Amino acid sequence: MSSMNSLTIKDIARLAGVSIATVSKVLNRKDQDIGEETKQKIAKIISDNNYVPYQKVMKRMSAKTATIGLVVPDVADVFYKPLVRGIEECAYNEGMSVIVCSTGADEGKEKKYVETLKERNVEGLLIAPSAGFGEDDIALLNDNQIPVVVVGPGSYDNAVCQLHFDYARGTYLATEYLIKNKHELIGFIGGPPTGQGAEERLEGYKKALYDHNVGFDKNLVYESAITDLKQAGFEGANLLLSKGATAIVTGDDIIACGAYIAASEALLKIPNDISVIGFGDSYVCELLTPALTSVAYPSYEMGYEACAALLKHIKNEAAEKKKLVSEPSLQLRQSASAPKAAGDAPKEQIVIVGSLNMDIIMKVSHIPRVGETILTNDIKNAAGGKGANQAVGAGKLGGQVYMIGRVGGDLYGRELYNSLIKNGVDAGGVVFDDMLPTGNAYIYVSDNGDNNIVVNPGANSRLSVEQVQTYEAIFDKASYCLIQMEIPMDTIEYVAQVCRSKNVKLILNPAPAREIDYSHFRDCFLVVPNETEIDLMIPGEMTIEEKAYRLLDKSFQNVIVTLGDKGCLLVNKDTKQYFPAATFKAVDTTGAGDSFISGLTVALAEGKPITEAITFASIAAGITVSREGAQPSLPDKETIKMYL
């Protein structure tokens, strides 16, 4: 028979033919639900062997360590960071230290850490356990006189204090929000199935589908076996996108980061093309563009409360062993919206080849005359350049936009590049030049909204034919191409040639007006000059209409002359029609032309007739002139729809 020094609770359970948890209940006088015969059998084995729990002996001999143990799947995970902070804060306030162990959701590592903490004589243990952690594990800790608080799901009867995040409710809220926004093909990406709350997250997603009569499709569920959550999100999103999903619920904000990368590589925009919702409401939500909608829990507060409950048990204070549930909420940001209607989807991509400048905007009382010096007290920088403005304008309106341009390897260049990305533009064709700085535009804006612009092209002057050739394959996917006159003429002419050979409809914005060889633009779909530009293109004493017809004679298929607050004129072989300007109070007309052209192109790419596209573009331009700045003033589609 085992001696006092070697008999363990496991030995007693084996000899009695019962579980460790049953022995633990008898030892700790929590045996109300255990039969009398079983209790007597266990008591006899204890008595016959003079059994004394080893840890009780050690605690009589050892000084208090003022230390508690904390075991979590990943201390660096954005979901657990605030929880750990709350625990550490509470412990510090009570004069206790915390030994933190990160298991990587590995059950073997978890068991080893728990044993290590027992050897360190911690006074209590907080654990966010794996799926394999059960009542026997708690019984062994209780037998060693180590109070335990469990943070997470699972059923542990009444022998332990438990604080539970309602994971299922969180994914339910996320899925329900997407359903209410008219999504039907909603995918789910979870982490490793053994991770804490993995099963509950999936069940919440499935229950929301069931409750709202949306069919569950197992092909729209991706549960990764890897612990690299960002890679899991990337792989899962690629799979779900291939299945036609319009929205994705994720089990972690880092998984959502991977989904963002997959969407970007697929040239899809969030939320226009795919909605994404995270889980955890961590700091990364505001770092992503667009900001991530996420399921939020009061993790810091829960951590603090869990630690406070453990400390009460350590001090033998009256702490009720109960299960506390933390309810989630959905923090709405910009990553989830209604799916794009079929009629709103651009048929193909829009390629924009053009300039990127940093605008230096100066507010003045009036535009200075020749030789006049005036003062300004209001100067600011803003991302600009006609190419970039039109790309951002089309991107904000939901167009699938690819930009080819050039910036300097400086701060301005990085700001311009980031502005494109932020507004949903694929900037894969933008090159950082190592010789010239980023271009600048010096813009004088008067009190009545008039403006003059002086441009220093900088790196734009090195946007070469060779650079376009490098990215020429993108034209194979495009239906429209926009080009302006702030880049080298040989590049403009080459782009016209590429568009003609690939049946891409070219839209020429002749700004600033320059002498051009019209033979390079035969069969060009559309030219859009303003009054000043058409006068320079077709000099002489003629009306605007006559000059527009002269441009038609130079083999342009359509001519639209923008007339400022008088609207615009459309001329083609079948039509001559004036369109009024949208009625908005002018604050800054700098971006009006670019807003008009980007709105026109997106509407055409959506399959709208040119007359409807002009109406859409006129409202876009009207909204733009009512705001300050070029790119900041460009509207999104929802704003335009308010005025249609």
Q: Is 594 annotated as a binding residue?
A: yes
Any binding-site annotation on 389? yes
**405 known ligand binder:** no
Q: Are residues 239 and 352 in the same domain?
A: no
Are residue 498 and residue 631 in the same domain, yes or no?
A: yes
pLDDT band at 67 (very low <50, low <70, confident <90, very high): very high
Arithmetic mean of pLDDT, 45-66: 62
Bigger pLDDT: 121 or 580?
580
Interatomic CA distance for residues 581 and 575, integer angstroms: 19
Collapsing DSSP to helix, strand or coil, 549 comes out as helix
Whether residue 626 is predicted with pLDDT greater than 70 in this model: the reply is yes
Residues of 301-322 as b/e, b for ≥16 C-beta within 10 angstroms?
Answer: ebbbbbbbbbbbbbeeeebebe
Q: Is 486 annotated as a binding residue?
A: yes
The pLDDT value recorded for residue 10 is: 81
Q: Which amino acid is located at 603 in the chain?
A: A
Where residue 525 falls among pLDDT bands split at 50, 70, 90? very high
Can you tell me whether residue 4 is helix, strand or coil? Answer: coil
Host domain of residue 272: 167-296
> Active-site residue among 31, 74, 252, 594?
594
Average pLDDT of every residue of the chain: 86
357 is in an annotated binding site: yes
Backbone angles phi, psi at 637, to 5 degrees: -65, -35
Query: Is 622 known as a binding-site position?
Result: no
Summarize pLDDT for 281-339 with one digit per residue, the tens: 988 999 998 999 999 988 888 889 889 888 888 887 755 666 777 889 999 999 999 88
Same domain, 206 and 272: yes
How many degrees, rounded to 5, is the angle at CA 357 between CA 352 and CA 363? 125
Same domain, 518 and 598: yes
| Cα–Cα dist 102/196, whole Å | 13
Q: Are strands 293-296 and 329-331 parallel, antiparallel or unpaired?
A: antiparallel
Q: DSSP label at 451?
A: E
Residue 274 has pLDDT above 60, yes or no: yes
Q: How confident is the model at residue 451 (pLDDT cuts 50, 70, 90)?
A: confident
Q: Which of 267, 296, 325 is the last residue of a domain?
A: 296
**Residue 4: what pLDDT?**
42
Contact 405, 389 (CB under 8 A): no
CATH number at residue 27: 1.10.260.40
- Asked if residue 141 lies in contact with residue 148, where contact means CB atoms within 8 angstroms, the answer is yes
**In this structure, are strands 329-331 and 478-483 parallel, antiparallel, or unpaired?**
unpaired
Query: Could you tell me if 152 and 83 are in contact, meaning their C-beta atoms sit under 8 angstroms apart?
Result: no
Angle between helices 20-27 and 9-16 (to 10 degrees): 110
The stretch 538-562 carries a mean pLDDT of 93
Do 635 and 511 share a structural domain? yes
Q: How many CB atoms lie within 10 A of CB 92?
A: 12
**Per-residue model confidence (pLDDT) at position 346:** 46
What pLDDT sits at residue 499?
A: 95
Main-chain phi, psi angles of 527, to 5 degrees: -120, 135
The CA distance from 596 to 585, in Å, is 16
Region of poorest pLDDT, from 134-148, 212-226, 493-507: 134-148
pLDDT band at 1 (very low <50, low <70, confident <90, very high): very low
List, for residues 3-12, the tens digit of each pLDDT value.
444 677 888 8
Least reliable range by pLDDT among 291-300, 417-426, 467-476: 417-426
Residues 368 and 291 placed together within one structural domain of the fold: no
d(CA 611, CA 16): 89
Q: Examine the domain organization and report whether 418 and 280 are in the same domain.
A: no
Whether 363 has a binding-site annotation, put simply, is no
Residue 104, annotated as binding a ligand: no
566 annotated to bind ligand: yes
Helix (H) / strand (E) containing 247 = strand 247-250
Average pLDDT over residues 587-605: 89
* Bridge partners, residue 559, by sequence: 527, 571
DSSP letter for 632, please: T
* The total number of structural domains that make up the chain: 3
In this structure, is residue 82 part of a structural domain? no
Domain assignment present for 117: no
Q: How confident is the model at residue 376 (pLDDT cuts 50, 70, 90)?
A: confident
Average pLDDT over residues 436-460: 87
**pLDDT confidence of residue 5:** 46
Q: How far is residue 230's CA from residue 258's CA, in Å, rounded to a whole number? A: 4
Q: Does 103 map to a domain? A: no
Q: Is 355 contained in some domain?
A: yes
Look at residue 331 and tell me if it is in a domain: no
Q: Is residue 350 part of a domain?
A: yes
Which pLDDT band holds residue 56 (cuts at 50, 70, 90)? low
Indicate if the pLDDT at residue 228 is higher than 90. no
- Same domain as 386, residue 271: no
**What's the pTM value of the predicted model, to 2 decimals?**
0.52
Q: What is the 3-state secondary structure (H, E, C) of 600-626?
A: HHHHHHCCCCHHHHHHHHHHHHHHHHC
Mark which of 12, 37, 52 sits at the end of a domain: 52
- Range with the poorest average pLDDT among 104-108, 172-176, 374-378: 104-108
Q: What is the CATH number of the domain that holds 368?
A: 3.40.1190.20
- Percent of residues, the chain, with pLDDT higher than 90: 46
Determine the Cα angle at 598 with ends 264 and 246, to 5°.
35
Structural tokens at position 531: 């009054």
pLDDT band at 196 (very low <50, low <70, confident <90, very high): low
In 3-state terms the chain splits into helix, strand, coil percentages (rounded to 5) of: 40, 20, 40
DSSP string covering 99-124: EEEE-TT-HHHHHHHHHHHHHTT-SE
Alpha-carbon distance of 636 to 493, in angstroms, equals 31
Confidence of residue 630 (pLDDT cuts 50, 70, 90): low
How far apart (Å, rounded) are the C-alpha atoms in residues 357 and 412?
Answer: 8
Residues 6+ apart with CB under 8 A from 154: 129, 133, 134, 162
Residue 385 and residue 265 share a domain: no
> What is the CATH classification number for the domain harbouring 216?
3.40.50.2300
- Mark whether 594 is an active-site residue: yes
Phi and psi angles of residue 326, each rounded to the nearest 5 degrees, phi first: -95, 120
- The residue-averaged pLDDT of 84-91 equals 92
User: What is the percent of the chain with per-residue pLDDT over 70, rounded to a whole number?
Assistant: 91
Q: Are residues 352 and 259 in the same domain?
A: no
Question: Are 361 and 225 part of one and the same domain?
Answer: no
Is residue 484 located within the same domain as residue 547?
A: yes
Which residue is listed with tokens 């020094």? 5
**520-547: average pLDDT:** 93
pLDDT at site 159: 63
d(CA 500, CA 555): 13
The answer to whether residue 88 is domain-embedded is: no
Give the model's pLDDT for residue 52. 63
Residue 95 lies in a domain: no
386 is in an annotated binding site: yes
